[in-house]
Structure formats: C-alpha cells, structure tokens
Amino acid sequence: MSDPDPYQRAAFPLRNRLARLLWNVVAALLFRPSPRPLFGWRRLLLRAFGARIGRGCHIYPKAEIWAPWNLDCADAATIADGAVIYNPSRIELGSHAIVSQQAYLCGATHDIDDPAFALRSAPISLGAYAWVAARATVLPGVRLHDYAVLGLGSVATRDLERAGVYVGVPARRVKTRRIGDDAGGGR
Amino acid sequence: MSDPDPYQRAAFPLRNRLARLLWNVVAALLFRPSPRPLFGWRRLLLRAFGARIGRGCHIYPKAEIWAPWNLDCADAATIADGAVIYNPSRIELGSHAIVSQQAYLCGATHDIDDPAFALRSAPISLGAYAWVAARATVLPGVRLHDYAVLGLGSVATRDLERAGVYVGVPARRVKTRRIGDDAGGGR
Amino acid sequence: MSDPDPYQRAAFPLRNRLARLLWNVVAALLFRPSPRPLFGWRRLLLRAFGARIGRGCHIYPKAEIWAPWNLDCADAATIADGAVIYNPSRIELGSHAIVSQQAYLCGATHDIDDPAFALRSAPISLGAYAWVAARATVLPGVRLHDYAVLGLGSVATRDLERAGVYVGVPARRVKTRRIGDDAGGGR
C-alpha cells in the first residue's frame, strides 16, 4: 500500500534503491578509499556496475556517482574529486570531457506545480573536450556541445554551444574558445 | 582570563562547545555511518539531543546538524545528504519542507564593523512545503513562507513570499508556484 | 616516455605527486580525525610539511590543504572546516585573515586555448583581517587587501581593495567596512 501522503512516497522503485544500496556499500569499501593513482581499479568497479567507461578515463576516488549504470564516459574523460554525478537519467561524457572538483551534474529536479512534487529527470551530455569547471552546475536536460566551457561556480540552465565559454548564474556566453586546426589529440 | 585579542576569543561558551563535542562524537559514530533507510534511528538520535522532530521526517545520514537542540522539524520535513544546518539560533522547518543536497541554512554571520568581529546569529524558518533546492543558501534571519521555492545554487538574502519562486545571487522572484485547492496532503 | 595525448600527461612532476601522496596519507590518519580543539597539533603537522604557520592560527580538522609547503599563515589566521586551499602556487593569509566554511581559494585553472589544456597556477594572498565568507571562491592571482570582505557564495575574479565589501558572481563592491582607529588588535 502506498503512503497516502504523496510527498512520502519513495521517488524510486525498490529495485533501483537496492541496486544503489549495493553500489554505495561497494563505493564506501572499495572505491572511495582507493589510492588516487588506481584509476584502472575504479574503472573496473564502475564497469562491474554497468557503466560504460572508455580507455584512460580518470575517475577520482572522491567523485560521487549516483548510478554507474547510467554513466557513459568516452575515452580520456575525467571526473574529479568532490564532483557529483546525479544521474537518475543517463549522463554522457564525450572524449576528453572534464568535470572538475565539486562540479555538479544535476540530472533531476522536482515538479513544483505538482501536488506530489514528482521527480523529473532528464539526460545530460558533455561533448568532446567540454569542460565543467570547479563548483559549476549543469541542470537536467542540458547539453554542452564539443569544446564548450562552463566557468567556475556557474550554472548552465540551457545548452552551451560548441566552443562557447559561459559564466554566471545563470551562465551567459562571454567568449569563444580557440580551437587550433593543427592541435594534437584530434582537435 | 579572556584572550586580549578579541579575534581569538571563543565565539561560544564552554557549555555549548562541550555539548557540540558530545554531539559530534555521537554523529560520527552513530548518525553518519547509519544506513540510509534508518530514518527512525536518526530521528531518535536527534531527539535525544533536544531536537523537535515530527513524524515521518527524512533526515539523511550525511546531513550536518550543528546543534540538534536548536532544530525544530514539523512532520514529513526532509534534510538531504550534504545539507548544512548551521543553527546557533533556532531553525524551524514546516510540514513537508525540504532542504535538498548541499543546501546551506546559514544561521550566523559576523559583524564586520565590530573590531571583535562578533558572531551574529538569527533564526531561520521554512514554511510548510517550502523547498530550498540543491546548493542554495539561506542567510541568517530569513523566513521562507509556505510553498516558497529557492532555486538551485541561489542565495536568499531576505524573506521569500508564499508560493514565490526565487533564483539568483541574490535571489529574485521569477514566478509563482501553482497550489491546487484540490491537491492532496493538505495543500 | 610522455603520453602522446597532451590531455593525458600528468599536470605535476613525480616529486610533487609523491609529496602530496605522503601528505594525504598523514592528513587522513592524523589531521582530519584530530579533535577540533587540537589546533596546536595541526599547526605542528602543517609545519612538518613545510607550511609557515604563525602563532594562534586556527586550522580546523576538515580544512583541505593541497600543498602545506605552499601555505603561509601569519598569526591568528583561521581556515574553517570544509574550506579548500588549492595551492600549486603560494597562498598567503595575513594576520587575522579568515577563510570560512567551504570557501575555496582556487590557485590554478587551465588554459582553454591551449591544445594541451595546460594548468596555470598563480599565487593568492589575503591581507590582514581579510575575510572570505562561507562558500565564496577566490580565483588564481587575486589579492584581497587588508580588511577586504568577500560575501557568502561570491566569486572574486580580481583584486579586492582595502576594507571593501564585495558580493556577487563575479563580486562587485557594495560598501566599505568601518575600521576604527581606536579598535583593539592593531586595527
């Protein structure tokens, strides 16, 4: 029997909550205490929980991944210490995308006009070489195109264009990143 | 004998510091490591330290409560992981009020014009169904009226009106929340 | 042999990484778990790792110091719990300077126009009696002059003048702090 108070109903089905419970136990025992240089070990743990993690990804030990099975990282992506990946819906990082310290990819919100305050999640994606700087936040449904930059502490409320540099709350475009044709690494 | 340098004097009396020391030890051993679903257990701990906690409150294990004896939560209030309740003065949450992840109810500041940099605390209150979204901050003395919403990462520097939705640093009213007369849960 | 992908090269030389590894182990075992009142003990640990720490400094146990050997605190400076001192370059705190809870002195960024995304660090300094309030951020190369105040959650992108009070993202000057000639503590 569900709770008569809609605010008191669980936002996620039991199966999801059990999976996260198991992941949280594993994360507390094997992921977070792992020495920083053991990036391969953490990639292994995330893949065991269903994440798609490319080669050379740098996922730091204090990164918080809500649901590994909804995380998709292309090669050489980075998620720093203290970054929060809140992904009830899928979150994708392109090749060489970077999520810096304490940045927050916030993949869900609540419908404030709904008496039940229902959770609304939507996918987030970062293109290749996109950078979410320290303490910045990306809202549900937002896409950063390739090479886009979200400045420190800024909040992306809508899509960021290719190679655009955005700052502020909410983030506004302030300049364009230079992308050399002759640059290495596929740029 | 008090320190001749006013900056070096303790901001709180010894009795307060000892009480918080005891609470911090209990929190480290019994509260923070408790499994997420044990909401009843954490309500019990908070009440043992003088908090008034209503039925069905969801206080998450990584929530940080500075002084339980200054916390007053009506039924079905929620304080999420990483939220910080800094309450040298009283902080009250109305029925169904929600403080989301890493939100910060900051109940004290310093008098910058005072050579002793004295601490100034003031109560904070959230009305019924008020929502402080993730990473948002509420300053000392601020009241959120019923159904008010403070958006992600926003900073409330003055009172928020009933059912107003506020965003930005400092927070400005951007719209009004719809409150159905026929909605469940006493709305 | 360095990695052919410039994004994959280590940002810091091996010697630096080993020193930080050692410091992180010591911090995890001896610094962070230390009881709050043991300020002398934490000063001792920081000095053992090369920090210059004056008399009566209050460094709290959950403060995060990236590289103690690049930290220089004059007498009676304070670094609160959750504050982050990210100092690949030197960070200096003047006498009675305060870095509040979860504030972030961010001493490095990346060159977004460089195909190798090179790290660029620059020193940060806080003058005497300067205050970085909770959750505020100071960018690389920024200097807060004596008595300057950076408000809660604000981001300092350029130097703050003496006794100026700044708020917002980016921080703008909103008023002037009163500094009494007759005040104690050398003001």
Is C102 a residue whose pLDDT tops 90? yes
Q: Has residue A59 been placed in a domain?
A: yes
For residue B59, the cross-strand partners are B79
Let me know how long chain A is. Answer: 187
- What number is the average pLDDT over the span B36-54? 97
**In the structure encoding, which two tokens stand for residue A88, read together?**
């009830």
Domain range for C78:
11-176
Percent pLDDT > 70 in chain C is 95
Distance from B5 to chain C by nearest Cα, in Å? 6
Is B3 a residue whose pLDDT tops 80? no
Q: Which residue of A has its CA nearest to B33?
A: A28
Q: Does B133 sit within 8 Å of A6, measured CB to CB?
A: no
Note whether B76 contacts A: Cβ–Cβ < 8 A. Answer: yes
Query: Which of the four pLDDT bands, split at 50, 70 and 90, describes residue A3?
Result: low
Note whether A169 contacts B: Cβ–Cβ < 8 A. Answer: yes
Q: Has residue C184 been placed in a domain?
A: no
Q: Has residue B122 been placed in a domain?
A: yes
Query: Which of the four pLDDT bands, split at 50, 70 and 90, describes residue A11?
Result: confident
**DSSP run (H or E) holding A174:** strand A172-176
Q: Has residue C163 been placed in a domain?
A: yes
Is A187 a residue whose pLDDT tops 60? no
The answer to whether the bond into A170 is cis (omega within 30° of 0) is: yes
Q: Which residue of C has its CA nearest to B140?
A: C152
Distance from C82 to chain A by nearest Cα, in Å? 11
- pLDDT at B2 (0 to 100): 55
Task: Give the up-direction half-sphere exposure of residue A72: CA atoms within 13 A in the CB hemisphere.
Answer: 13
B102, B89, B105, B116: which is closest to B16 by C-alpha? Answer: B89
**In the structure encoding, which two tokens stand for residue B5, read together?**
């340098």
**In the structure encoding, which two tokens stand for residue B129, read together?**
């169904």
Q: Please, what's the b/e burial string for C54-84 (b: 16 or more CB within 10 A of its CB; e: otherwise)?
A: eebbbbbbebbbbbbbbbbbbbbbbbbbbbb
DSSP class of residue B112 equals T
Query: Which of the four pLDDT bands, split at 50, 70 and 90, describes residue B1?
Result: very low
B152 vs A contacts (CB less than 8 Å) = 106, 109, 137, 139, 155
Place of tokens 């720093």: A80
Q: Has residue A7 been placed in a domain?
A: no
- pLDDT at C4 (0 to 100): 73
pLDDT tens-place string over residues A40-53: 999 999 999 999 99
Q: In what order do the strands lie in the sheet with C149-150?
A: C58-59, C78-79, C98-99, C131-132, C149-150, C164-167, C172-176
- Count: domains in chain A: 1
Q: Does B184 sit within 8 Å of A5, measured CB to CB?
A: yes
This model of the complex carries an ipTM of: 0.86
Between A119 and A183, residue with greater pLDDT = A119
CATH assignment at residue B25:
2.160.10.10
Is B4 a residue whose pLDDT tops 80? no
Residues contacting residue A67 through CB under 8 Å, at least 6 positions apart: A16, A19, A20, A23, A87, A88
C84 vs A contacts (CB less than 8 Å) = 101-102
Of B8, B106, B112, the CB nearest to C149: B112
pLDDT tens-place string over residues B149-158: 999 999 999 9
Count helices and strands (H / E) in chain B: 2, 19
Q: Has residue B4 been placed in a domain?
A: no
Distance from C181 to chain A by nearest Cα, in Å? 37
Query: Which of the four pLDDT bands, split at 50, 70 and 90, describes residue B183?
Result: very low
Which of A145-159, B134-148, C2-16 shows the lowest mean pLDDT across its residues?
A: C2-16
Contact C140, C108 (CB under 8 A): yes
Distance from A87 to chain C by nearest Cα, in Å? 24
Contact C149, C166 (CB under 8 A): yes
- pLDDT at A10 (0 to 100): 80
- pLDDT at A2 (0 to 100): 55
Q: What subunits make at least 3 CB pairs under 8 angstroms with A?
A: B, C
Q: How far apart are CA A108 and CA A124, in angstroms?
A: 10
pLDDT tens-place string over residues B5-15: 888 778 888 99
Max CA separation in chain B (angstroms): 63
DSSP class of residue A145 equals P
Q: Has residue B19 been placed in a domain?
A: yes
Note whether A74 contacts C: Cβ–Cβ < 8 A. Answer: no
Is B92 a residue whose pLDDT tops 60? yes
Q: What subunits make at least 3 CB pairs under 8 angstroms with B?
A: A, C
Is C181 a residue whose pLDDT tops 60? no
Place of tokens 């030890």: B25
Note whether B7 contacts C: Cβ–Cβ < 8 A. Answer: yes
Q: Has residue A21 been placed in a domain?
A: yes
A135, C52, C67, C160: which is closest to B169 by C-alpha? Answer: A135
Contact B48, B40 (CB under 8 A): no
pLDDT tens-place string over residues A56-72: 999 999 999 999 999 99
Instruction: Work out whether strand B108-110 and strand B119-121 pair parallel, antiparallel, or are unpaired.
Output: antiparallel
- pLDDT at A184 (0 to 100): 42
pLDDT tens-place string over residues B161-180: 999 999 988 899 999 999 87
Of A106, A110, A115, the CB nearest to B183: A115
Of C86, C106, C115, the CB nearest to A183: C115
Mean residue pLDDT across chain B: 92
Is B186 a residue whose pLDDT tops 50? no
Is A103 a residue whose pLDDT tops 80? yes
- pLDDT at A154 (0 to 100): 93
- pLDDT at C24 (0 to 100): 93
- pLDDT at C30 (0 to 100): 97
pLDDT tens-place string over residues C55-89: 999 999 999 999 999 999 999 999 999 999 999 99
A109 vs B contacts (CB less than 8 Å) = 133, 152
